[in-house]
Each structure stands twice: as structure tokens, then as C-alpha cells.
């Protein structure tokens, strides 16, 4: 054997002229078929037991999958029993078709017919391997011999199915030239045509031709070329439903499927989260949600993805990766500060513009569409920028910090992340906010106060303030008047030692915590002596008191600094 990479035979692309698939887009959902309970199940260290398979089956039905490959009933007694339980236990809704897999071998086909007795809608799926490599090393047979296996099986299946069809069973057929991707395309056309003929396929009784990348061996564009070539040459294309069954050996299963759909496929066999042999089958969730985020209805419901994931992990004992598209724990988390700022701006933009579309950078999907929450989107670590902490304060705790305040609070959080050297949880960010602003109660504190408001004949408001303040241990009285509570308080403290501050900016809003609603005020003051600016925050059930607390918070912070 040659060393290293030299021992591999490169894929030979199928020459094709005037390919049309690159100019197409995906505009509608394919027919979905789940192979979780067969391809997925056979690849588990501990295959699912009956109860697990039933629960999984019901989840697939809830998601909206209408064709479900339930197993390989001729392969073992367990598989047979599961098939019987699904049928006899009344688990299969009338609009769902079960699919059963069988090799193109007589005794297995006969056993499979026994297994499906009594079912309403069935796809009988048979296969044999057609690739150059398998013909050479496994079967040592020429193409005629391989075609004979397929057509013999087709004849038997057609014959055995007639009484069932006459008795009312909606029985359809599926043929897979297994290892299609390693088969010469002209031969793939030849064997599929022969199978269609032997199954008496017609536009009214279409047969599913399932074209698997049993082992993914080429680039998705090369697969799309093969498929377009195959479909063009298949006589009586309207007798067939072209189905894809991609595996993921090169990590391109999703791309292969998407390009395969552009090249003319009608149907896709896939599994949840890409479970299946080796690197798995193609992931149905990613495919469906990719369509969804392009404005195409995938006709599958993943609106509670966490619930599906929980069922999947419990039944298969397989973990779903943290970065698995749409479902992974970290896929709605932005660590980078610039990403956090952009997300923040996107949220603001959506609010202020009233846009009808999802227009948030770095979030290709609204997490709520898969039942995920906004809360974990931003996590604050030393790489996060000023916007991240403000985002947490707004989305987790309802504090809408003024824009010009965000850098100041960002620095407070940054100091903490630098000090602890790891991520800071939202709760800790709230604590820092309280410590820094709301609990800045020294040295100045408002002990008690009263406002008296009069409105003159022209409607002008006039407010008189009287209050008691404490500076460390000294208690003193202040009073002042103004055109509003803030003005009156500010005038009241003129002449005191705290009068060296200029009022620069003010914002306020209500925050609701359960049924409890409070007002929060943000006030920016400038220290005339140093020129430095300080934000203060006040919180109160009393709408007039929150700004006074905010003023004192800013002054106290200035003193502290
Ligand atoms: O991957 C494959 O080729 C299969 C066939 C049985 C369809 O699973
Ligand atoms: Zn497979």
C-alpha cells in the first residue's frame, strides 16, 4: 500500500454539460422521511428498547414527520415485535406511513410481508448494493448479476403486495441502489429503470428511488452533478419520487442534501440531530431550520427544540453537541463584545423601526422560534464589550441604561471579569450594578422629604422641596423651589457642600418585577472642580423620589472616586 494520503483513490466526477442546479433555489419543503428508528437506531451502542422507540416514534409524529422508517423487521425478533406493537397497539395515525427496510432477499422479504399485516399505510423499502467497489470486493458479481438480485426482489414484492393492496392497504415501494454515490451513473440509471419496470411503476403509482450517499465520498457540487445527470437520463422520471439519503462522512451531509434538492430531488431521509451510522445521517433539524430561516416553511415543527433534544438524549444515550446548529447549548451565546454590541443594536433597531423581519446581526434565527430564550444570548467575560453588560441589564432585569451610561457600567463589569478571570453570570452583573449605583448611599443620604406642588392659572407647575439630609454623622435641613421635583431638589442643595455639580442628563422608566412596579431614574452630573462626569441611579416606588436618589447616587460616587 502507498503511504499516507497517496493510498486514496480520488473521486472521479461525473462529466455533465449545461448543469442547471446552480441557478435554482429551494422554495418548498421536500417530503421528509425519518430514518431515526432504523439507521439511527442500528448505530447506537445500546439500541432503543420498545418503550424508547415508541416514545421516539410519537415525538416524530408530533414534529410532523409523515413517513417514518420504523426498522428492519426481518432482521431480528425484537425488530419484528416493535413493528407489530406499532401496528397492533394503534400507535400510527392515519396520515402517517410506516416504512420498513429489507434486503433484496426472498426469505427476508417474506418475513417483512408478515410484519406489516394490518397496517394502513406502508412503504416497503428494499435495497442491494450497486457500487463498483462493492461489486468487486463483496459480491464478486457483474452488473447483470446485481440487476438480477434487484429485479427478482421487485418481482416478488410486486406479486406479494397485490392481495394487500386489493384488501385496502396503501402499500408503496422504495428501492435503494445502496452506495449509489460509488456507482457508475449510467449503470445506476439502468438498474433503477429495471426496478421501476418490474414494480410496474407509473405516474399514478410512483415508486420511490432512494439514492444514498451510503458513505459520503465527494463534494456536494459533485454529488449534485451526478444527481442531475441521473435524473436527466432516467426514462419515465414521472414514475419516480427521487429521494436522498445522505450520510455525513465528510461533514457535508447538509450541503449535499441542499444541493441534491436543487438538482431535482423530491424527498429526504434524515435523522434528528444527525444520528446514524459512523458520522451519522444528515440532520433533519438543520435542514428544516435552514429552510425556515430562508423564509421557506419546512412543514416540520421544531418550536420546542429543548424538549426534542431531551427525549433524544434520553432514548439514544447520545449527547447533542454544544455547538450543534439550532439546538446546541451555546448557539445563542455571543462571547465577543463586538457581537454583543451589534446584537444590542439589532434589538433596538427592531423596536424602533417596527420592522416585520428578523434583522439582528449574529443571530441567524430568532431563538424564540425554537423555544429558546434570549437570556443566555449574552454572557459576559473579559472579551465582552460595554454593550454586553447593558444588554443583560435590559433583557434579564429590565434596566434600560442610557446609551452614554453604558461605557461607564461596562468598565465596572470589565474590572470584575479581569479580576475573576472567567465568565460573570447575569446575577453577578445585577449585583455589581446595585453595588455601584443603587447602594452608593454614603456619605450623602436623604432621610425624609416633602414636595408641595402648585399649578398657576397658565398651567405652570411650581414645586417646593423641603428635606432632611445626612452627611456621614451630620444631619441638616435643605429647602428649594423649582419648576419640577428635580429642579427644586437641585436648588435646595445649592449653597451646600454638594453644590459643585452640574446637571447634564436624565432618563427614567418603570420596571416591573412580577406585580411590583418601580420607577428607575438615571442622572448624569458633572463635577465642576474636576470636569469628570458621574452617573447615578435611583430606584423607588415613588416617581418623585427615584430621581433624588439618583442625584445623591451620582454625588456619592463622585465622592467615592
Ligand atoms: O446508507 C444507506 O445506503 C442505507 C440504505 C439501506 C438505504 O441506509
Ligand atoms: Zn443509511
* Interval 463-502: pLDDT, tens: 999 999 999 889 999 999 999 899 999 889 887 767 788 9
Please give all residues whose CB falls under 5 A of ion ligand 2, grouped by chain where several chains appear: 39
Domain map of the chain by residue range?
Answer: 27-316, 337-408, 444-560
Question: Which one of 36, 211, 214 would you pick to mutate in the ligand 1 pocket, going by the greatest count of ligand atoms within 8 A of its CB?
Answer: 214
| Residue 53 pLDDT greater than 90, yes or no | yes
**The pLDDT value given to residue 540:** 93
- The CB of 253 under 6 Å from ligand 1? The reply is no
Nearest CA to ligand 1 atom 5: 178
Query: At the topology level of CATH, where does 27-316 sit?
Result: TIM Barrel (3.20.20)
- Helix 50-63 × helix 77-88 angle, to 10°: 50
- Cα of 471 vs centre of ligand 2, distance in Å, is 77
What cell does 294 get? 430562508
- Cα of 241 vs centre of ligand 1, distance in Å, is 17
pTM: predicted TM-score of the whole model, two decimal places: 0.77
- Cα of 78 vs centre of ligand 2, distance in Å, is 20
Residue 180 CA: which ligand 1 atom is closest?
3
CA distance 85 to 236: 38
Residue 277 CA: which ligand 1 atom is closest?
1
- Cα of 71 vs centre of ligand 2, distance in Å, is 12
Residue 38 CA: which ligand 1 atom is closest?
8
**The pLDDT value given to residue 425:** 87
CA distance 257 to 101: 21
- Cα of 281 vs centre of ligand 2, distance in Å, is 6
Order of strands across the sheet that contains 461-471: 444-455, 461-471, 474-482
- The CB of 79 under 6 Å from ligand 1? The reply is no
Residue 247 CA: which ligand 1 atom is closest?
1
Model confidence over 265-316: pLDDT tens digits? 999 999 999 999 999 999 999 999 999 999 999 999 999 999 999 999 999 9
Nearest CA to ligand 1 atom 4: 214
Average pLDDT over residues 75-83: 96
For 475-536, the DSSP string reads: EEEEEEEESSHHHHHHHHHTTSGGGGEEEEEEEEEEEEETTEEEEEEEEEEEETTT--EEEE
| Residue 78 pLDDT greater than 90, yes or no | yes
DSSP H or E run through 122? strand 121-129
| Residue 535 pLDDT greater than 90, yes or no | yes
Q: Which CATH class is domain 444-560?
A: alpha beta
Average pLDDT over residues 366-394: 76
Strand partners, 71: 100
Model confidence over 229-238: pLDDT tens digits? 999 999 999 9
**% of the chain at pLDDT higher than 70:** 97
Residue 176 CA: which ligand 1 atom is closest?
7
| Residue 376 pLDDT greater than 90, yes or no | no
Amino acid at each position: 500500500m502507498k503511504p499516507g494520503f497517496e493510498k486514496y483513490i480520488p473521486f472521479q466526477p461525473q462529466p455533465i454539460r449545461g448543469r442547471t442546479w446552480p441557478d435554482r433555489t429551494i422554495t418548498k419543503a421536500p417530503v421528509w422521511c425519518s430514518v431515526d428508528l432504523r439507521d439511527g437506531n442500528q448505530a447506537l451502542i445500546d439500541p432503543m428498547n420498545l418503550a424508547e422507540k415508541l416514545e421516539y416514534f410519537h415525538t416524530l409524529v408530533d414534529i410532523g414527520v409523515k413517513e417514518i422508517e420504523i426498522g428492519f423487521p426481518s432482521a431480528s425478533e425484537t425488530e419484528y415485535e416493535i413493528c407489530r406493537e406499532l401496528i397492533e397497539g394503534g400507535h400510527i395515525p392515519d396520515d402517517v406511513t410506516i416504512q420498513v427496510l429489507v434486503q433484496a432477499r426472498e426469505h427476508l422479504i417474506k418475513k417483512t410481508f408478515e410484519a406489516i399485516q394490518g397496517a394502513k399505510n406502508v412503504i416497503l423499502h428494499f435495497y442491494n448494493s450497486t457500487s463498483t467497489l462493492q461489486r468487486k470486493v463483496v459480491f464478486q458479481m457483474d452488473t447483470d448479476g446485481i440487476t438480477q438480485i434487484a429485479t427478482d426482489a421487485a418481482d416478488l414484492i410486486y406479486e406479494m403486495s397485490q392481495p394487500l393492496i386489493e384488501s385496502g392497504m396503501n402499500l408503496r415501494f422504495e428501492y435503494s441502489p445502496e452506495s449509489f454515490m460509488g456507482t457508475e451513473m449510467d449503470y445506476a440509471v439502468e438498474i433503477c429503470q429495471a426496478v421501476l419496470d418490474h414494480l410496474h411503476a407509473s405516474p399514478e403509482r410512483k415508486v420511490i428511488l432512494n439514492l444514498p450517499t451510503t458513505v459520503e465520498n465527494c463534494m456536494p457540487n459533485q454529488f449534485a452533478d451526478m444527481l442531475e445527470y441521473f435524473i436527466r437520463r432516467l426514462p419515465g422520471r414521472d414514475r419516480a419520487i427521487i429521494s436522498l439519503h445522505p450520510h455525513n462522512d465528510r461533514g457535508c451531509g447538509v450541503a449535499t442534501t441542499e444541493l441534491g434538492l436543487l438538482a431535482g430531488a423530491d424527498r429526504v431521509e434524515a435523522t434528528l440531530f444527525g444520528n446514524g451510522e459512523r458520522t451519522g445521517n444528515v440532520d433533519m433539524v438543520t435542514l428544516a431550520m435552514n429552510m425556515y430561516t430562508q423564509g421557506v416553511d419546512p412543514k416540520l415543527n421544531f418550536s420546542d427544540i429543548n424538549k426534542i433534544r431531551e427525549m433524544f438524549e434520553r432514548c439514544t444515550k447520545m449527547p447533542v453537541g454544544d455547538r450543534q446548529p439550532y439546538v446546541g447549548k451555546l448557539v445563542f451565546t455571543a462571547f465577543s463584545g463586538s457581537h454583543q454590541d451589534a446584537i444590542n443594536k439589532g434589538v433596538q433597531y427592531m423596536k424602533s423601526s417596527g420592522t416585520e423581519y428578523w434583522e439582528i446581526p449574529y443571530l441567524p434565527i430568532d431563538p424564540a422560534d425554537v423555544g429558546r430564550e434570549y437570556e443566555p444570548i449574552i454572557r459576559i467575560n473579559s472579551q465582552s464589550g460595554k454593550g454586553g453588560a447593558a444588554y443583560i441589564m435590559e433583557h434579564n432585569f429590565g434596566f434600560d441604561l442610557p446609551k452614554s451610561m453604558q461605557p461607564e457600567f461596562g468598565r465596572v463589569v470589565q474590572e470584575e471579569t479581569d479580576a475573576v478571570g472567567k465568565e460573570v453570570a447575569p446575577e453577578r452583573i445585577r449585583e455589581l450594578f446595585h453595588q455601584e449605583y443603587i447602594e452608593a448611599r454614603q456619605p450623602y443620604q436623604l432621610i425624609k422629604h416633602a414636595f408641595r406642588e402648585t399649578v398657576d392659572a397658565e398651567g405652570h407647575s411650581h414645586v417646593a422641596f423641603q428635606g432632611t439630609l445626612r452627611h456621614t454623622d451630620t444631619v441638616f435641613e435643605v429647602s428649594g423651589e423649582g419648576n419640577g421635583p428635580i429642579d427644586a431638589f437641585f436648588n435646595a442643595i445649592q449653597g451646600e457642600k454638594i453644590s459643585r455639580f452640574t446637571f447634564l442628563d436624565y432618563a427614567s422608566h418603570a420596571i416591573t418585577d412580577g406585580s411590583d412596579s418601580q420607577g428607575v431614574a438615571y442622572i448624569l452630573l458633572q463635577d465642576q472642580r474636576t470636569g469628570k462626569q458621574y452617573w447615578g441611579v435611583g430606584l423607588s416606588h415613588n416617581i418623585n423620589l427615584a430621581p433624588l436618589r439618583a442625584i445623591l447616587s451620582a454625588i456619592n460616587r463622585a465622592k467615592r472616586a
